[in-house]
Amino acid sequence: MPQPAVSAPVLDARDVCKRYPVGGGGLFARGPVPLLHAVDRISLTVGAGETVGLVGESGCGKTTLTRMLARLIDTTEGSILFGGDDLATVPAARFAGHPARAAIQMVFQDAEGSINPRFTAFDAIAAPLRRLNGLSGAPLRARVERAAEQCGLPLTLLGRYPHQLSGGQKARVGIARAVATEPKLLILDEPTSALDVSVQVVILELLAELKSRLGMSYLFVSHDLNVVRLICDRVLVMYLGRIVEEGPAEAVFRAPAHPYTRALVDSVAVPGQIREGPRLRLSGDPKSPIDPDQNACRFHGRCPRGQDVCGSVAPPEVTPGTGRRAFCHLPLMEHA
Amino acid sequence: MSQPPLLSVEDLSVEFRTRSGTVRALEAISFAIARGETVGVVGESGSGKSVTAYTVMRLLDDAARITSGRIMFGGLDMLGADAGTLAELRGRELSMIFQNPRASLNPIRRVGQQIADVLLRHANVGAKEAGERAVALLAEVGIPEPSRRAKAYPFELSGGMCQRIGIAIALACRPALLIADEPTTGLDVTTQATIMDLVSELGRARGMATMLITHDLGLATERCDRVVVMHAGHVVEDAPTAALFAAPRHPYTARLFAATPRPGLALSEISTIPGGLPDLRRDDLPPCRFSTRCDRRRDACDAPPLPRVTHQGRLVACHNPL
Amino acid sequence: MSASAAAGGTVGHIRHVLSENPVTGLSFGLFGLLVLTAILGPSLVPYDPLASSDAALAAPSAKHWFGTDNLGRDVFARVVVATRLDLGMAFAAVALVFVTGTLAGVAAGFLGGWTDRIVGRVTDTIMAFPLFVLAMGLVAALGNTIANVIYATAIINFPIYARVARTEANIRREAGYIEAARLAGASTLAVMLFEVLPNVLPIMMVQVSLTMGYAILNTAGLSFIGLGIRPPTAEWGIMVAEGAGYIVSGEWWIALFPGLALMLAVFTFNLMGDGLRDIVDPRRRT
């Protein structure tokens, strides 16, 4: 069962923004350069021992957000409070030497692509221990083997190259590398989406076990709502650079308040279960993220419930239930 | 079944010759698809579901060898047909949509032209009419401003749009059977739903049969009349969708279903499938390729042949079914 | 256990590549022959390559396999002895450009920005000239020494290395393992040298083999027109130049045999390129 969040958050990101200049500029350009608002004033917390899910379609900015939180790219604005420091003040290029580097790690979607094809599984797992913990020789080997064992990776496979490993084994190498330095926060970027169902369960169980054993918190990015619902305590729903709804995963998915969340939930087919009743469907593509109108809902134009007010006034925050927030003029306030 | 099926695959076996041995990719698989029926072929990677599709399309590469069996499509023996007949058939009677819609389109040709190409090749129409029908098809697959989008190149369109173009190309000549190979994998969930709505709707409107290859049991539940479950190159179960998920009879189907996350289940309530796929290059493959992973295995399972029992419209390839 | 298995895999893989493509095997054989000739040649030849004899302009015979030149020097001895010099100069030039060009290209492709622009301008400038003419000009300007021939050969090959390395580094810029390395605390320089470079090197090894041929041709070409090596040193380019005048009068062997040696060397290195790529790329192994 998901345990409730306790004490102070491990990660507290406030009003994080990422804007990229696009096109324009140049010698003869007039007026301001158009800006792509990849992430627009997002605030989120991850509590100790909590698993927070992050869902949204491709291009909604979840990749940019996770890379900022992992300190791989710089923020344009906002703060990232972690262990009492504002990490957003440290440039990403110099973050490699920061003491918090070992405490924030990441597991990638494409396990194969995230392991250097020239190096063995051992080298991959050893890299963070070498650089961040300064280990070498026998202590290094011991730590690598411990991480591999924790992740259920047979030690005989440590000498293999990524192309000699199965999908599940590569996923285990990626996880072993990420947990080797015993991070406080683990960002999981669609860790099971490339895996078969039978392997997926094993990896999800492994992640659950590692979380309690190593006392980590998870930020879990996924497009598979069934998986998010299964393992996340809380969920954040992103649309076009903004969070449109957040709250306890089960409550949000059982009775979504934001029409976008509703459309997401309605789009998911449930194995072995034919659902009755009308489904909310979305047409078209999202609006352009370049210089979006700050006085309009981002979902306006694609939203089946949208009205004129949605195009001229920024959506207000509503509270559909305990611990929940949604940003919508016309939320679905049904209670399950 | 009084009418003969649209597609029937009987006792089909396919091998791949590789450097490290012969892969027995399909062994004696049989199934049929009736006119207008949507049949799901589900299984994990390596189960042979895509090989099945490519064999039916006769698009296998040179390393593959069909060692036994028969594929009948609308009265035509597909394995005996010559290249010209097959080329004529593909695109007109038998179409396919692919997993990566953008990669299956020609990047340097306008999408309208690509649809018109199919019409010119198969529909016996002139260039002008082909262009007009291409625009009409774009409208039919739900693309806004079809005459403008017809002039677009694939890279100018989103993944969902590209898959709609793929569907327009596949359906241009009103095929009797559409083979959809993981058509929504890699697309956003909201887009997946609208694409599948489109496929179902067009299938219904045209009385087209669909073979939906997927690893997603949810998709199979929602969209298919019947589901064929594959494991390691065998068809292990073939049953009407509702009956299959209500009471899976093959141990693999049951375990696959039990391993799939569903709302209302906790992680501890989801079970794993022990072991992995057997190495299909081995010479001593057991008659039942699931037996090494199976907790219902009996001594009889090690003795050939693998039973293929049909009972009340359901096929189960197991000595000890549930 | 796994290490020995992997080693067996490598040997097995090489054997497979060689058996699948006999031309690769042939090129490796010829390469071995060339290297052995370069190392052992001078101590094996029956005549002093510089010593004249009375038998000038003698046709090939059992005594003088490749005949003698206008000063009565044994052409076979000269061709064999020249191998070390020609291969050595080309190797030095290629080694130099391999290191500088690869590093510059990887930096340009991985870092982008100003580094990319500077490297790009340098390569464009070099490529604006006909390359052999540029090499001639450089040697003439810098001074007629062996070292300058090597530098000039390296410089005209620089764009090939820088461009290939740039492209290969650039497509790996967004690779997952780059992000993973940065999470593991690697600095930008460390990522470039320890993550990107090892992936680019196999492709550059193929370039080495291909450019070795051209480098041999280039150094020989320079001496053919009188730059770099000077007579009476045994060198293929000079020998072809010296023998060229005698072809019309029927003494074809003086120019032909050094020419054939040159051709064989260029041919060998070009053929090796493809085979080398199959062997060094781990993803082509099963």
Q: Give me the DSSP letters along B120-149.
A: HHHS---HHHHHHHHHHHHHHTT-SSHHHH
Mean pLDDT of C20-45: 83
Q: Residue C148 and residue C237: Cα distance in Å, rounded?
A: 16
Q: Is the pLDDT of residue C17 over 90?
A: no
- The pLDDT, as a whole number, for residue A32 is 77
Q: Which residue has the tokens 């597609």?
A: B7
Q: Which residue has the tokens 């080298």?
A: A123
For residue C202, give the chain A residue with the closest CA. Answer: A118
- Strand B38-42 versus strand B226-231 pairing type: parallel
Q: Which residue has the tokens 């051209």?
A: C214
Q: Which residues of A touch C168 (CB under 8 A)?
A: none
Mean pLDDT of B95-101: 87
Torsion from C-alpha of A94, A96, A98, A103, nearest 10 degrees: 140
For residue B197, give the chain A residue with the closest CA. Answer: A281
Q: Which residues of A touch B219 (CB under 8 A)?
A: 269
Q: Which residues of C touch B20 (CB under 8 A)?
A: 286
Q: Write down the H helix ranges in chain A.
A: 62-69, 121-133, 137-150, 167-179, 197-214, 225-231, 249-254, 259-267
What pLDDT band is residue B305 in, cutting at 50, 70 and 90?
A: confident
Q: Residue C216 and residue C207: Cα distance in Å, rounded?
A: 14
Q: Residue A295 and residue A314: Cα distance in Å, rounded?
A: 5
- The pLDDT, as a whole number, for residue B101 is 83
Mean pLDDT of B305-311: 82
Q: Which residues of B touch C16 (CB under 8 A)?
A: 19
Mutate to test the interface with A, among B45, B49, B188, B230 (most CBs of A within 10 A): B188
Q: Which residues of B236-250 are buried (b: 16+ CB within 10 A; e: fewer)?
A: bbbbebeebbeebbb
Of residues C20 and B180, which shows the higher confidence score?
A: B180
Tell me the average pLDDT of chain C.
84
Q: Residue C105 and residue C108: Cα distance in Å, rounded?
A: 5
For residue B293, give the chain A residue with the closest CA. Answer: A198
Q: Which residues of A touch C179 (CB under 8 A)?
A: 67, 72, 106, 108, 114
- The pLDDT, as a whole number, for residue A280 is 85
Q: Residue B124 and residue B91: Cα distance in Å, rounded?
A: 13
**Contact (Cβ atoms closer than 8 angstroms) between residue B301 and residue B246:** no
**Contact (Cβ atoms closer than 8 angstroms) between residue A268 and residue A216:** no
Contact (CB<8Å) A272/B221: yes
Q: Check CB contact of A178 with chain C, cutoff 8 Å.
A: yes
Compute and round to an integer the Cα radius of gyration of chain C: 22
- Strand B7-18 versus strand A317-318 pairing type: unpaired
Q: Which residues of A touch B223 (CB under 8 A)?
A: 269
For residue A231, give the chain B residue with the closest CA. Answer: B267
Contact (CB<8Å) A106/C2: no
Touching subunits for chain C (3+ Cβ pairs under 8 A): A, B
Q: Is the pLDDT of residue C62 over 80?
A: no
Q: How far is B70 from chain A (nearest CA, A)?
A: 30
Q: Which residues of B30-63 are buried (b: 16+ CB within 10 A; e: fewer)?
A: bbbbbebbbbbbbbbebbbbbbbbbbbbbebeee
Q: Is the pLDDT of residue B6 over 60?
A: yes
Handedness of CA C53, C58, C64, C67 (dihedral sign): positive
Q: Which residues of C touch A93 (CB under 8 A)?
A: 188
Query: What was the ipTM of the complex prediction?
Result: 0.85
What's the one-letter identity of residue A76?
A: T
| Residues 13-72 in C contacting B (C-alpha not used; CB under 8 Å) | 16
For residue B256, give the chain A residue with the closest CA. Answer: A198
C-alpha angle with apex C170: C168 to C172, nearest 5 degrees?
75
- The pLDDT, as a whole number, for residue C7 is 43
| 3-state secondary structure (DSSP) of residue C43 | helix
Neighbours of A139 (CB within 10 A): 12
Contact (CB<8Å) A110/C176: yes
Query: Quick one: angle between helices A137-150 and A167-179, nearest 10?
Result: 120
Beta bridge pairs of residue A237 = A55, A245
What pLDDT band is residue C121 in, cutting at 50, 70 and 90?
A: very high
Q: How far is C268 from chain A (nearest CA, A)?
A: 28
Sheet containing strand B38-42, strands side by side: B94-97, B177-181, B209-214, B38-42, B226-231, B234-240, B314-316, B309-311
Q: Check CB contact of C84 with chain A, cutoff 8 Å.
A: no
Neighbours of B11 (CB within 10 A): 12
Q: Check CB contact of C173 with chain A, cutoff 8 Å.
A: no
- The pLDDT, as a whole number, for residue A1 is 43
Burial class of residue C249 in the structure, from the number of CB atoms within 10 Å of its CB (0-12 exposed, 13-18 middle, 19+ buried): exposed
For residue C285, give the chain B residue with the closest CA. Answer: B19
Greatest distance between any 2 Cα atoms in chain A: 67
Peptide bond before residue C232 is cis, with ω within 30 degrees of 0: yes
What pLDDT band is residue C52 in, cutting at 50, 70 and 90?
A: confident
Superfamily (CATH H level) for B7-93+175-316: P-loop containing nucleotide triphosphate hydrolases (3.40.50.300)
Q: Residue A197 and residue B259: Cα distance in Å, rounded?
A: 6
**Contact (Cβ atoms closer than 8 angstroms) between residue B72 and residue B7:** yes
Touching subunits for chain A (3+ Cβ pairs under 8 A): B, C
Q: What is the CATH number of domain C22-284?
A: 1.10.3720.10
- The pLDDT, as a whole number, for residue C256 is 87
Contact (CB<8Å) C16/B20: no
Q: Is the pLDDT of residue C286 over 60?
A: no
Q: Residue A191 and residue A51: Cα distance in Å, rounded?
A: 14
Mutate to test the interface with B, among A197, A237, A275 (most CBs of B within 10 A): A197
What pLDDT band is residue C6 in, cutting at 50, 70 and 90?
A: very low
Tell me the average pLDDT of chain B.
89
Q: Check CB contact of B293 with chain A, cutoff 8 Å.
A: no
Q: Which two tokens stand for residue A74?
A: 């710089």
Mutate to test the interface with A, among C13, C177, C183, C281 (most CBs of A within 10 A): C183
What would the pLDDT profile of C125-180 be if each residue is shown by its tens digit? 999 999 899 999 999 999 888 899 999 999 999 999 999 999 999 999 888 899 99
What is the DSSP-derived secondary structure letter of residue C192? I
What's the one-letter identity of residue A5?
A: A
Q: Which residue has the tokens 């709505």?
A: B197
Q: Which residues of B touch A196 (CB under 8 A)?
A: 44-45, 215
Greatest distance between any 2 Cα atoms in chain B: 67
Of residues C55 and B17, which shows the higher confidence score?
A: B17
Q: Which residues of chain A have pLDDT under 70?
A: 1-7, 24-30, 334-336
| 3-state secondary structure (DSSP) of residue A184 | coil
End-to-end, the C-alpha distance of chain C in Å comes to 18
Beta bridge pairs of residue B41 = B213, B228
Q: Residue A177 and residue A2: Cα distance in Å, rounded?
A: 25
What would the pLDDT profile of B219-270 be if each residue is shown by its tens digit? 999 999 999 999 999 999 999 999 999 999 999 999 999 999 988 888 888 8
Q: How far is C105 from chain A (nearest CA, A)?
A: 19
pTM reported for the whole predicted model: 0.85
**What element of type H or E holds B58?**
none
Contact (CB<8Å) B218/A202: no
| 3-state secondary structure (DSSP) of residue C158 | helix
**What element of type H or E holds A117?**
none
